[in-house]
Chains A and B, each alone.
Chain A
């Protein structure tokens, strides 16, 4: 059982649709990060959230950290083919410690 569970594991949608990806845990994290990885490349950091209830926006992407700092969500509005990739959440339990990665959500946006 993973410390961070991501759902769904796979998602295939049409361009223009909205979607939400979830990252859940029974543990409390001091911060949580979201990465996007394209095939053949390393993950790239999208955002870090550190405060319970925090919401951050990055263009069409909205990230939320749960009030209890145990879960997070990523919402994409009007998805585009360029959003295709593997989305990974990762949490830090104590500041300065290493990240624990979720299993990832593979998103495909069809034109």
Chain B
């Protein structure tokens, strides 16, 4: 049973549309992350949060924005989608401290046409 949920799993939208990718976790983890990944390729960190009202940009420049109003919820928004945003978006969380691994969601496969 998944403890971190991403919706939708698949999304096909037109250029210029605003979209929000949802990510929720039930584990009470403080740290949450968004990664972008092309199929079978490496993960690129685009946003992260260490707690409520804390958000930072990752290593990969992204036109998306995130918010963290509640511990369990970390949505990602694209104000105006473009074909270059076509990719898989993965959300992950982990507890604070120690050598804990990340728990990943199943991802959202976004296609912008």
Contacts and interface: CB of A to CB of B under 8 A. Distances in A.
Interface in A86-111: 86, 88, 90, 92, 95-96, 98-99, 101-104, 106
B42 A103 contact: yes
Contacts of A86: 40
Q: Is the interface of A mostly helix, strand, loop or mixed?
A: loop
A98 B99 CA distance: 10
A42 B92 contact: yes
A44 B103 CA distance: 7
B40 A48 contact: no
* Interface class of chain B by DSSP: loop
Interface residues of B, number: 24
Interface string B21-54: 0000000000101000001111101001000000
B48 A33 contact: no
Contact of A42 (B48, B97, B107): B107
Contact of A95 (B41, B98, B102): B98
Interface string B81-102: 0000000001010001111111
